[in-house]
Structure formats: C-alpha cells, structure tokens
Amino acid sequence: MAMELAATIQRIERAAGSLATQSVARMDEELSWFRDLPADQRSMVMLVAQAGVGSFVAWLRSEGNDLGFSDEVFDAAPAELARSISLQHTVALIKVVIEVVELQVPQLAAPGEETELGTAILRFSREVAFAAARVYARAAESRGAWDARLQALLVDGLLRGDDGDELAGRAAALGWADATPVSVTVGRSPGGEATAILHGIHRATRRLGVEILAGLHGDRLVLVLGGSSEPAEIAERLVGQFGDGPVVVGPVTANLIEAGASARAAMSGYRAAAAWPDAPRPVVAAQLLAERALAGDTEARRILRIDVFAALERAGGSLLETVDSFIATGGVLEGTARALFVHPNTIRYRMRRVAEVTGFSPFIPHEAFTLRVALAIGRLDPAVDVIR
C-alpha cells in the first residue's frame, strides 16, 4: 500500500497540521460538550488529533499490516483523556476527525488513488476505535485497582482511629459525597478479586439512594454506608454480597469522621457473633453486647454497665430486684410474683419498664441473657464510670 499511495502519503503529511486544526474547529461547531471543556483539555484533544493524523501516515507506510500503530493516537495524553472525557465522547471525537479527513480525500489523494485512500481511512478508523476501547479498558482496570487499595486504606484507618481529616481526604478521592449519617457493616468476604467484589457491591447499591464505600480487611468485607438512618435495612438487601457467616451492622454515627466507633463495634460484633448461633443475618452490633463483653470488648462492657445496670438502678421502682428475681426463677412470671409477694400484673408492668429503660425485654430469651450479663458486669465493676 505504501508504494501505491506514496504520493498521497506525502500530501497527507503536508496537510497534517491543517487537518488537526479543521477537526478541532468542527468539534467546536458540532459538539456542545466540547465547547464547555477547559482550555487544557481542548489542547489535549488537539494533541490527540495531530497524533492521529501522524499515526495514520505511519499506518499507511506499514502497508496497513495492523502493527498496532493506532494505539499511539492516545499516547499524547492517555490517562488524562480517559479521566476527563468519556468513552462515548471519545468515539464522537474520532468520528469528527475521520469525517474531516474523508471530506478532504479529493484534495489529499493523488490522481487515481481516491478509492484506495477512502478504503484505508475506513480500515484505520476501525483500528482507532479498537485502540480507544483498549485505552479506556486499561484506565478502568487501573482505576478499579486503585479504588480497591484506597478503600482498603480507608477501612484500615477507620479501625485504627486515624485522623478525621485524613479519612475525609481519602473518602473525597473516592467520590464520597459526605452523606450522613454514617454506619459500618462487617461480614465475611465472598472471595475473589477485590475489584470484582467492589464492582458487585456498587452495582447492587446503585438504586438504594445511599453512598457506600467498601474495603477488604483480611478475610472480612467492610462496608461504609452513608445517607441512611436505618442501615440494617440496607444491609439486609446486601447480605448476598457477603460470604458465609454473620453480617454485623454497627451503630449510626453523625459523620464519617466519627464512623470509627461504628467500625469497631461492627468488627467486635463480627468476632463475637459465633457465641450466638441463632443470631439474625444481618444482626445489629447492639444486639451482641453480651457476647462482645464476654469476648473482652471494653466498650460493650461499659455500655452494659452504664446503659443497662446503672439505668435500672437510677430508675428505681424495684426494677433491678425484679430482674434478679425473674432470672433466678428461670423467667417464670408467676414464680417471680410469689418470690416478691406481688401480683403477676405488677411483674408484667415492671418488665415493660425494664424494656423501656434498657432497650432489652426480659421476655425475649436472648435479651434476657444480655440483661443477666449486664447485671453481672455492673456488680463486678460497681464504681467504674457509673453515672448515678
């Protein structure tokens, strides 16, 4: 082909600058979004257009052997172009350049070479389209891997209690919209590549109206959820993204900076959940306070001591004594009433008050277990952090 189109190739080389300029002018005329691009990005497109004409000449000289010259079209600014201009827009730009060159065929082609040049343009435009797809695929793969690493760093920072501004900076780099409130959910990783796991999660949450970040921490998958005051409901719709085992939802916090507390509670609950084989999936970390305390979680121990034991003491009305007796009689209401010399309805009333004061009902077996552990902790540490 090079020998056949030698004269045409020389003409194209001489017209390269003009073709690039005409292409950009036509982009400005036909593509409204191109007119809105910043000056540096428009200059970048000019570089790519010029590289495209040069690559076309090199391709013609190679006699169209598809040696991969078309990839060089994007070498002028591959990463920047992929970040600032979508693949759909890139295809539109390529189309404009090809149209400009096609319109110039009568002037560019040497006499008798018009048909050959037209055919070469069609073949080359196909190669450039494939090159654009490859560039964007590589950019997406690189971006996905970087996002996975950055999200893993964010998760590690939350668990370590890193500086809030640093966490906010990492989240902003990931496109976090600072949605509040924020909570953290922890479960087992489903296994596989981190980028594939994160892609599946973001696809699953696309229509839930929430912000989400995800990261892998060892064999655990950690989700940071923003914009929902009912994270357990969101987690219930996402349990299929986790592997086997418990899925634990941490408490709601005001913002991302404070979400470390939610992450630590969820992680503690995940470690302790094995002690409650029949736990729901997902389970809220507060439902696992007893198990977490038994596993050595000092924050869970403090909550049970202050928000349960001390709260019952402050409430008065013999609530603490009634819970003790109810536990001692094996949860039998009439037996408790006989032991305390009161009517069973009095016990029912007091049990309702216990649930109001502590959030745990003595009539529900697992919550009764939590109350029992709270009473034991309160008596083991009677003078520590108890607000009377």
SS3 187: strand
Look at residue 272 and tell me if it is in a domain: yes
Question: How many domains in the chain?
Answer: 3
- Convert the pLDDT of each residue in 102-129 to its tens digit: 888 888 888 888 888 888 888 877 777 7
Q: Which of 142, 161, 185 is the last residue of a domain?
A: 142
Q: Which of 142, 161, 196 is at the close of a domain? A: 142
176 or 326, higher pLDDT: 326
Last-in-domain residue among 142, 161, 194: 142
Q: How confident is the model at residue 69 (pLDDT cuts 50, 70, 90)?
A: very low
388, pLDDT greater than 50: no
Total H helices, total E strands in the chain: 18, 5
Q: State residue 299's pLDDT score.
A: 95
Radius of gyration of the chain (CA): 33
Say if residue 214 is in the same domain as residue 274: yes
Average pLDDT over residues 58-70: 60
Question: What's the pLDDT at 387?
Answer: 45
Task: Based on the fold, state whether residues 130 and 240 are members of the same structural domain.
Answer: no
- Confidence band for 38, pLDDT divided at 50, 70 and 90: confident
pLDDT at 66 over 70: no
Q: What is the pLDDT of residues 163-189, one digit of tens each?
A: 767 777 777 776 777 788 999 999 999
* 204 and 104 inside one domain: no
Q: What is the domain-level CATH number for residue 255?
A: 3.30.70.2730
CA dist 67 and 60 (Å) reads 11
**Is 347 domain-assigned?**
yes
Let me know if residue 114 belongs to a domain: yes
Question: How buried is 284 (Cβ within 10 angstroms: 0-12 exposed, 13-18 middle, 19+ buried)?
Answer: buried
The answer to whether residue 168 is domain-embedded is no
Q: Are residues 38 and 129 in the same domain?
A: yes
Residue 218 is part of which domain span?
Answer: 175-286
- Is residue 31 within 8 Å of 79, Cβ to Cβ? no
Query: Phi then psi for 220, rounded to 5 degrees?
Result: -105, 145
Whether residue 196 is found in the same domain as residue 280: yes
With respect to residue 293, please indicate whether it lies within any of the assigned structural domains: no
Side-chain half-sphere CA neighbours of 74 within 13 A: 27
